[in-house]
Amino acid sequence: MPTKLQKLPNTVRGKDYIETKDWSVKEIELALKTAGELKKMFKKGKPHRYLPDKTVFLFFFDKSTRTRNSFEAGATQLGAHAHFISSETSQVAHGESPKDMGIILSSYGHAIAIRHDLVPGEGNSYMRRVADAATVPVLNMQCDIDHPFQVLADLMTIREEFGKNLRGKKIAVSWAYAPSYAKPMSVPQGLITLMPRFGLDVVLAHPPEYTLMKSEVEYAKKAAAENGTKFEIVDNMDEAFKDADIVYPKSWGIESLFHNPNEALEISKKYKDWICDERRMKLTKKNSIYMHCLPADRGYEVVDSVIDGPQSRVFPEAENRLHTAKAIMALTM
């Protein structure tokens, strides 16, 4: 006879998860606690079908590896079914409105998850229009403003490393050079807005052209002030890395040039020396860790000896994407 599952709290049942800012510290703590419990059950091979016969629609405007697979695998493990939908093969490509999609998919299932991250000013507002019409929770699989499942997994990973009390710990969120494409700003923005709320001092480093959205920087300042943590911005990668406990160097694009990514990539060539290498890691604390949301541009954003080295936590971090996705689905659906 299967073990009876412990009942989950219903305090966020039906709640959208579009930005971590939308959730209180108490609600995010519940998500982290649930993720930890689900991870233990998964590791022990214990069934945990909290969502039998439920359906989540995964609507993608962009490519994905970790996000799609963590949601699909996670839904299956919870007893639910995930429908993958590419925007190009749906009627959205012919102009169907977010309102209509929200109403219709709500009538078919139990949650709508959306990735829409490539154009500043579009993804988040699209999700919120869907959410306004939907009667089921809308989950943000990455937009132009935030990547709330990624940064929740990041916080989970940091706590697994350093414990729950992160007071006095420093995270360096730094731009890094990458030639592949103009990447979204959502991960660094998600990091600077979430981490000050949970005790971390944040240093953001980037070349002058690579500023983040003003609204997110202002929120980070406010969150740090309210929570007794620090938030500062520097234009020097070495300065950010000095005495850091956690480093999170990754590339992102220029907000005003997402309509012209080639120009942004041309500007980025001036900053090829913004790379996470062994010299820079030596500037950090002795027990520091390297993190990245992946995929990392090896040889550009980071050298192999760092990403594959003893300080790297990128693979446990990626694994935690499964557990945070499951926690949010289980609590909201």
**Three state DSSP letters for 277-309:** CHHHHCCCCCCCEECCCCCCCECCCECHHHHCC
d(CA 105, CA 109): 6
Domains of the chain from N-terminus onward: 20-147+321-332 (3.40.50.1370), 150-317 (3.40.50.1370)
Q: How far is CA 301 from CA 49, 293, 298, 306, in A?
A: 39, 12, 6, 11
Does the pTM of the predicted model rise above 0.85?
yes
d(CA 270, CA 23): 39
pLDDT digits (tens, 9 = 90+) for 105-145: 999 999 999 999 988 999 999 999 999 999 999 999 999 99
**Side-chain-side CA neighbours of residue 310 (13 Å):** 4
Q: How far is CA 262 from CA 209, 270, 322, in A?
A: 14, 14, 34
45 has a pLDDT exceeding 90: yes
pLDDT digits (tens, 9 = 90+) for 63-109: 898 999 999 999 999 999 999 999 888 888 888 999 999 999 999 99
Neighbours of 159 (CB within 10 A): 16
